[in-house]
Structure 1
Amino acid sequence: MIELHKLSTTREPFQLNVDLIERIDASPDCHVTLTTGQRIAVTESVDEVVGRIRAWRVDVMARALRLAR
């Protein structure tokens, strides 16, 4: 799960399961489209969201490798 912030006046934080992400668009705000069809506007840029996804996946793989030893 990664933490993002909804694009609203309160910048509400939420946790998102990255396996549900279908695509990320910048038009001009960043929108995350889920496999369910739901579309969420977030304050982070496309590059920030992609970076968080990469970091999360690296962390998962590193933990799996440590457990396999």
Structure 2
Amino acid sequence: MSAVCKGHKYKNSRQAAVGKEYYVIELTKLRGDKFMLNCDLIEMVEENPDTTILLTNGRYLIVQESMKEITEKVIMFRRKIYERSRGDKEFQ
């Protein structure tokens, strides 16, 4: 996987029921398991030496990606959302 990850469409049953789409970033747990995270939940990211993400609900996640990689993924996520809101065809 490249250092920059484009947002992925993610629908669970609750989101599908209300007809909304959410975009998330892909991260990797220390054991190698991949998971999707809504970056709106990120409150803080630290490297101590493992990369630790503090979520707005108080939960911590430890991931393989560096702080820089997470920052790049969040920027790409935000850029995609912004471009979609402007109606830019390149990002749709």
TM above 0.5, yes or no, is: yes
- Counterpart for residue 4 of structure 1: 27
Paired residues, what number?
65
Runs of 4+ with deviation above 6 angstroms: none
Query: Secondary structure, in 3 states, of the residue corresponding to 1:51?
Result: helix
- Counterpart for residue 4 of structure 2: none
Q: 2:75 aligns with which of 51, 54, 64?
A: 54
Shift, 1:43, TM fit: 0.3
- Counterpart for residue 24 of structure 1: 45
User: Structure 2, unaligned stretches of length 5 or more?
Assistant: 1-23
Amino acid at match of 2:70: V
User: Structure 1, unaligned stretches of length 5 or more?
Assistant: none
**Could you tell me the percent identity over the aligned residues?**
35
Amino acid at match of 2:56: T
TM-score, normalised to structure 2, is 0.69
Q: 1:37 aligns with which of 41, 50, 58?
A: 58
TM-score, normalised to structure 1, is 0.91
